Amino acid sequence: MPHRPPDRCLRWAAVALASLAAACGSGGNGSTAQAPPPPPPQVTPITLAVSGRAVVRAQGDAQGFTLLEEKALAITQPGPDRRVVLLDGLGNEIGSYIPPSDWSLIDSTRHPSGDTTVILAAARTVMLVRLDRSGKTIDQSPLVDPDAPNDPFFDAGGTHDDGALVPTYTRDAARVAAIGEDLAVVLRTGRNAVVAYRFAHSANGYARTWRTLVEPGLSLFPESITSGTFDVFHALDNHWHVLLDAGADGAMAVGVASKPGLAPVFAAHATYFGEPITAAVGALVTRLAPDGRRTGTTVVDTVRPSELHGLRLSQGGVVAMGRAFTEQRADGSGWDAYVARIDGTSGALLSYRLVDLDRGEVLFDALALPQSRLLVAGAGGYVQNPTGASIMDDPQMTPLLAILEADGSVRQRIAVAPGARENQVRALVAVGERWLIAGMVNGPGTHTGDGNPAAITSDGFLRDVSVPSP
């Protein structure tokens, strides 16, 4: 029987032969041939179409996406009507979550693990629900706050419900944001105070870490229109909403709108915190440290009536955005989008800029680009009753995607193929070198469903988009 050399000898021989082959690979001159690098992995673009619901929020990574979808409702219908849909990295649906009867799904956020947290609201109560990647409920916890009835309150005769964690007028007044596997929450209570919380998550569910009063309670009043059946931008209850973003380090930013006569937030804030405010209308953006300490509040003075629709922590600061009624024009094109940039350390308002590209505009989301630029998403090309809230069905509302310079000026508008009727780009997602947009096509205007309620409908999308290099 022949002798078999030890394994180590075989490995040595293999290495020696490989070295000899490499040395001879370029004609025997002793140089080493460099193998070409492997091609980058091919990414199949996502082109997801959603029937009957708009995509109003999207978050994701290479492993998958969490979509918050919303059904369009008439002004007379209770809502909001939202659900969560979970996708794998290729855009295939792998799960979904619909809230139980008598609850409304208000907001959602995706954690690095792939879990999703949703916040639900009933008539007076709020619930946190944790979902796995397939939409299965991991745990759920009621959000309880015994201090809420005792928050300071500035009474001007409006209705309030001191024992509730939901305003009397709308359930759509809570937002969540992931801090790793933990959770940031901000909501408007039944006393109309704005309160922020941090929750730690473990196998035992959510446990509250801290509570911070962001704005005192005050009387808020609803807004209505004289005719029409659909509220295109949730403009009628925008002043009840709260906005939130959180960083991986636990820092938070909270945004609220102030509106003379309907939501005198500036006056209540100035009185309670002893911080005089000369502006009449706009928004307040409050920064919170990871331990819940208030580190400052910035006034965004929009001068004219405005709405706050988006808030992002970005490039060491905060970006707030929405739309402002800058000029009363006979053709109804007097609304412009706005973007405000706030220094994350000092709280200084670095810039406030109107974005005027195509008749009426609104911005919903923004993400950072190199050289302090921003990629922004919204809608444009709409006209509105110059003395009212009605947004017209014709001409068509166009999707808006653009690159802004550091000072907010427009560098470039990026073409996005429109769908039928009203179009909106509602959310931006960055996954490595990829960019995705989500939003709505085929949406209704204010009067679309006046004679035909079935026309109050919209469709959604999530798809890859090409963003030019700076």
pLDDT tens digits for range 358-399: 889 999 999 999 999 999 999 999 999 988 889 998 778 999
Question: Which pLDDT score, from 0 to 100, does residue 394 have?
Answer: 75
- The amino acid occupying position 319 is V
Strand residues in 147-251 grouped as ranges (E):
153-154, 174-179, 182-188, 194-202, 205-215, 217-218, 243-246
CB-CB contact of 199 with 209 (8 Å): yes
Exposed, middle or buried by CB within 10 Å (0-12, 13-18, 19+), for 249? exposed
Count of domains observed in the chain: 1
Pairing of strands 459-465, 174-179: unpaired
Q: In what order do the strands lie in the sheet with 360-368?
A: 360-368, 374-382, 398-404, 410-413
For 364, phi and psi rounded to 5 degrees? -115, -30
Sorted by sequence, the CB contacts under 8 Å of residue 251 that are 6+ apart come out as 287, 288, 289, 290, 313, 344
Residue 432 lies in a domain: yes
Q: How far apart are the first and last CA of the chain?
A: 70
Cα-Cα-Cα-Cα torsion 144, 146, 151, 155, nearest 10 degrees, comes to 90
Pairing of strands 243-246, 252-258: antiparallel
Say which residue the tokens 């796995």 belong to: 132
**Residue-level pLDDT, tens digit, the chain, 470 residues:** 444 444 333 333 333 333 333 333 444 444 445 667 666 566 789 999 999 999 999 999 999 999 999 999 999 999 999 999 999 999 999 999 999 999 999 999 999 999 999 999 999 999 999 999 999 999 999 999 999 999 999 999 988 999 999 999 999 999 999 999 999 999 999 999 999 999 999 999 999 999 999 999 999 999 988 899 999 999 999 999 999 999 999 999 999 999 999 999 999 999 999 999 999 999 999 999 999 999 999 999 999 999 999 999 999 999 999 999 999 998 888 999 999 999 999 999 999 999 999 889 999 999 999 999 999 999 999 999 988 889 998 778 999 999 999 999 999 999 999 999 999 999 999 999 999 999 999 999 999 999 999 999 999 999 999 999 86
Residue 36 lies in a domain: no
Distance CA 230, CA 169 (A): 17
Question: Which pLDDT score, from 0 to 100, does residue 40 have?
Answer: 58
Distance CA 320, CA 243 (A): 9
**Can you name the residues that pair with 8 across neighbouring β-strands?**
none
CA 405 to chain CA mean position, Å:
21
| Cβ neighbours of 415 (radius 10 Å) | 10
Question: Which pLDDT score, from 0 to 100, does residue 388 have?
Answer: 86
Residue 71 lies in a domain: yes
Question: Which pLDDT score, from 0 to 100, does residue 2 have?
Answer: 42
Helix (H, G, I), strand (E, B) or coil at 249: coil
Pairing of strands 126-131, 434-443: unpaired
CB-CB contact of 193 with 148 (8 Å): yes
Question: Which pLDDT score, from 0 to 100, does residue 94 have?
Answer: 98
Q: What is the largest CA-CA distance in the chain?
A: 104
Question: Which pLDDT score, from 0 to 100, does residue 24 have?
Answer: 37
CB-CB contact of 127 with 140 (8 Å): yes
Percent residues over pLDDT 70 in the chain:
91
Q: For residue 257, give both structure tokens.
A: 């709108």
For 438, phi and psi rounded to 5 degrees? -135, 155
| Cβ neighbours of 222 (radius 10 Å) | 15
CB-CB contact of 45 with 91 (8 Å): no
Helix (H, G, I), strand (E, B) or coil at 180: coil
Question: Which pLDDT score, from 0 to 100, does residue 163 have?
Answer: 95
Distance CA 416, CA 378 (A): 11
Distance CA 261, CA 364 (A): 25
CB-CB contact of 306 with 354 (8 Å): no
Distance CA 376, CA 357 (A): 13
CB-CB contact of 61 with 431 (8 Å): yes
CB-CB contact of 58 with 66 (8 Å): yes
Which DSSP letter does residue 223 get?
A: -
| Of the candidates 311, 261, 254, the residue with the CA atom closest to the CA atom of residue 285 | 254
| Of the candidates 380, 350, 369, 363, the residue with the CA atom closest to the CA atom of residue 411 | 369
Half-sphere exposure of 130 (CA within 13 A, CB side): 21
Question: Which pLDDT score, from 0 to 100, does residue 3 have?
Answer: 43
**63: domain range?**
44-92+424-440+455-470
Residue 374 lies in a domain: no
CA distances from 369 to 315, 345, 404, 430 (A): 9, 20, 9, 10
Residue 61 lies in a domain: yes
Residue 21 lies in a domain: no
Distance CA 235, CA 454 (A): 22
Residue 88 lies in a domain: yes
CA 321 to chain CA mean position, Å:
11
Residue 64 lies in a domain: yes
